[in-house]
Amino acid sequence: MRRTLLQLRVDPIACDGFGYCAELLPERIGRDEWGFPLLAPGVLPPGLLDAARRCVVSCPRNAIVLVPADEPLSGPTTRAR
């Protein structure tokens, strides 16, 4: 069975920029000068998937999600697990 490759995506409208996600997943999420998350591009390595899931469920604004890596940037977002 083939695993779906996943990446993180942030809804910049919903995000409040407090940065919990960057604290939980510093390997993939930095912060800009206002505190908003800056995501590393590309597919999440398998070793970071659990940490990425914790990051998603810890977001107080539901602003960060895991999506299939081949999902286009425009259009509806599919939440992956």
Q: Could you list the residues that contact ligand SF4 (CB under 6 A)?
A: 10, 15-21, 37, 59-61, 63-64
Give 1 or 39: the residue with its C-beta nearer to ligand SF4.
39
Provide the minimum distance between the beta carbon of 10 and ligand SF4 in the complex, in angstroms, as a whole number: 5
Residue 10 or 44: the one with the smaller Cβ distance to ligand SF4 is 10
**DSSP per residue, 27-79:** TTEEE-TTS-EEEPPSPPPGGGHHHHHHHHHH-TT--EEEEETT--SSSPPPP
Of 6 and 64, which CB lies nearer to ligand SF4 in the complex structure?
64
Residues near 26 by beta carbon (within 8 Å), at least 6 away in sequence: none
